[in-house]
A and B are shown apart, each in its own frame.
Chain A
Amino acid sequence: MAFDYDKWIRPGKLPHIWCPGCGHGIVMKGLIRAMDTLQLKKEETAVVSGIGCASRLPGYIDCCTLHTAHGRAAAFATGVKMARPEMNVILVGGDGDGTAIGGNHFIHACRRNIDMTYIIMNNYIYGMTGGQFSPCTPTGHKASTTPYGNPDPGFDIAKLAIGAGATFVARGTAFHANQIDKLIVEAIQHKGFSVVEILDDCPTTYGRRNKFKSVIEMMNRLKEVAVPVKAAEKMTAEQLQGKVLTGVLYKDETKPEYIVEYAKVIERAQAVKK
């Protein structure tokens, strides 16, 4: 299938700010393919972000776009969606933005199960500020603020989302580019809060400090650690050591969606209205 990328890129807004080798551009292309596949209406679609490299993505997409404050994308987006439930609301951002400063908004958006899709680009680092460790930096790894190695254990974003109540959780990687749009399409079509974590890489502020010799080496790592959920079923715990599951990890179509539930609140309130 041929995709119309030009239709979705805002005229005059490229080149983007991302470094050579960064995975965010791959994710953006995946998002565009998903939007194109679903034939979303630009005027009826909002792309909302926080702050950071990944959060600059909305500026390049030709629809209603909202670049909010650090960590606050989910809370702003909840406002947009509640005021205009008919809109498609897609959140994008990085791991630091979404799980550190925005962690509270993230888990509560999951809990409410409001019909929005959150694409988290996890490159394990605060790239825009120069490579400080994030809640997703692996233990022992180097960042500009963990010169002796990171003492913190990291978050598993997908498990966090499932635990908090999101009803669609998927994971992909920037290496598996062709899978990204398929995961996003399914996430957008899901009625409820959907989370798509895409593992990508920051060669500039993470790779160099952690002895990755090239972008290709980083990409190969993504290729090697990723195991599709189906394949994992046939693998032993030992074989899964150090691997990351990809694909649709969780789907629950029984939990009530928030917009639908709130419509019932309005119905009940209007029934008692005197």
Chain B
Amino acid sequence: MSKKVAFLQGNEAAAHGALYAGCDFFAGYPITPSTEVSEVLSLELPKTGGKFLQMEDEIAAMAAILGGALAGGKVMTSTSGPGLSLKQELIGYGCIAEIPCVVYNVMRGGPSTGMPTGPSQSDVMCAKWGTHGDHPAICLVPASVQETYEEVIRAFNLAEKYRTPVMVMPDEIVAHMRERIVFPEPGEIEVIPRKTPTVPPEKYKPYDTSFGDVPPLAAFGSGYKFHVTGLNKMQDGFPTTKAEIVQAEEERQVRKVDANIDDIVTFEEYLLEDADVVVVAYGSTSRSARYAVNIAREQGIKAGMFRIKTFWPFPDKQIKALAGKVKGIVIPEMNLGMCSLELERCAQGKVPVLGIFRVDGEPINPDQILDKIKEVK
């Protein structure tokens, strides 16, 4: 039997990816250019018995999914730049209270209201540094409609596996373009369930590290009773200011991601074996980059592309290795130089990092990238 095929927009694919992953609770607030996620899920979630909530504001939507997750839901919200700024405090709450959730953010021009219908890639730093305090960050940057579908599923899996908020951040081009998508069969893509406690309720502690860095999470209403707070907490969930506990807990929260970078980081290598010049790209920009690399090859230039699929944690190891092999790194991005800072950090001065930065709401075209490839000597 042939698989189901459709012609979908990135945002619509994200909604269907969430359903495949078992999302049963969504709360959102209307915002361009991500509203289609809400529209699709308001139609589809009730059919599965799931809950769709349109809340009074972006903060409330984030709060509602955190509450829903603590009551056992598999939860997601969707937003765009200004909404992401508003949600940041509670994303931090999700990090410290260790609540699995998916935040789907379509990158539009900014800061502030910026260019609501224009594409950008200027939220990638906000994904890691937007909320205050030290915290783990996972952020996926899909480049196609198919990949948006699959990465939303992976985001749910990572959220459950590491018990932490996970962001999926397509740029507006990926979110709004229409492409052919092939739906996976049920069971074809693994869906990771939440790790729930095996101990009886009276022995349960929500942050019990005897089960490792990612302790099981019970649901309110499932027979377990426990306390959750945004304060620094002990293993039993109650607040503490004891220095050694706060230090250990903060380190564990970050370690959940840092010690599992190889499990989380994904990327695509394109024509890199013999490359002198590597174009590092992500999101829709990688589509122009691929085109530019192909033309460069036709012209006898040994160019290749490293496509970032997981922006956070950043693929340090891979970029460091590339920096030791190539003559130069080209980074096209729809911001004034964000990924390029990470590349410069990883390149450690070994090779030049040449940026193409565009924030005028227009996509970066292959010619611009080709010209920059040719600047690498």
Q: What is the interface of chain A, defined by CB distance below 8 A to chain B? A: 10, 13, 42-44, 46, 48, 58-59, 62-69, 72, 75-84, 86-87, 104-105, 107-108, 262, 265-266, 268-270, 272-273
Starting from the known contacts A42-B225, A66-B228, A84-B71, 8 additional A-B residue pairs (CB-CB under 8 Å) come to A46-B221, A64-B224, A69-B89, A75-B64, A76-B63, A77-B67, A80-B71, A84-B220
Please, how many residues of chain B have a CB less than 8 angstroms from a CB on the other chain? 46
Looking across the interface, which residue of chain A has its beta carbon closest to that of B221? A84
Given the known interface contacts A42-B225, A83-B51, A105-B56, the answer about A68 and B230 at a Cβ–Cβ threshold of 8 Å is yes
Task: Let me know if A75 and B67 touch, CB within 8 A.
Answer: yes
The contact string, 1 if C-beta is below 8 Å from chain A, for chain B 218-229, is 011111111111
B93 at the interface (CB under 8 A from A): yes
Task: Let me know if B238 and A66 touch, CB within 8 A.
Answer: no
**Bound state CA distance, A268 and B52, in angstroms?**
14
Which residues of the other chain, A, contact B222 by a CB distance below 8 angstroms?
A: 43
Which residues of the other chain, B, contact A86 by a CB distance below 8 angstroms?
A: 221
Task: Let me know if A83 and B68 touch, CB within 8 A.
Answer: yes
Top 8 nearest A-B pairs by Cβ distance?
A: A79-B67, A75-B63, A269-B46, A83-B71, A79-B64, A75-B60, A76-B67, A79-B68
Interface CB pairs A-B, < 8 A, 20: A10-B227, A43-B201, A46-B71, A67-B227, A68-B63, A69-B90, A75-B60, A76-B63, A78-B53, A79-B66, A79-B75, A83-B51, A83-B71, A84-B221, A104-B56, A104-B57, A105-B63, A268-B46, A269-B47, A273-B47
**Bound state CA distance, A81 and B73, in angstroms?**
11
B30 to chain A, nearest CB (A): 15
| A interface majority secondary structure | helix
Best-surrounded residue of B65, B68, B69, B231 (most CB of chain A within 10 A) = B68
Given the known interface contacts A69-B90, A76-B66, A87-B71, the answer about A46 and B220 at a Cβ–Cβ threshold of 8 Å is yes
A95 to chain B, nearest CB (A): 19
Best-surrounded residue of B24, B55, B61, B219 (most CB of chain A within 10 A) = B55
A56 to chain B, nearest CB (A): 9
- Count A-B pairs with CB separation below 8 Å: 140
B61-95 residues with Cβ-Cβ distance < 8 A to A are: 61, 63-73, 75, 89-90, 93
**Bound state CA distance, A13 and B224, in angstroms?**
18
Task: Let me know if B72 and A83 touch, CB within 8 A.
Answer: yes
Best-surrounded residue of B89, B220, B222, B224 (most CB of chain A within 10 A) = B220
B20-73 residues with Cβ-Cβ distance < 8 A to A are: 24-25, 27, 43, 46-47, 49, 51, 53, 55-57, 59-61, 63-73
Which residues of the other chain, A, contact B71 by a CB distance below 8 angstroms?
A: 46, 79-80, 83-84, 87
The contact string, 1 if C-beta is below 8 Å from chain A, for chain B 169-199, is 0000000000000000000000000000000
B239 at the interface (CB under 8 A from A): yes
Which residues of the other chain, A, contact B93 by a CB distance below 8 angstroms?
A: 68-69
Given the known interface contacts A79-B68, A84-B71, the answer about A104 and B220 at a Cβ–Cβ threshold of 8 Å is no
Which residues of the other chain, B, contact A273 by a CB distance below 8 angstroms?
A: 47
**Bound state CA distance, A80 and B66, in angstroms?**
8
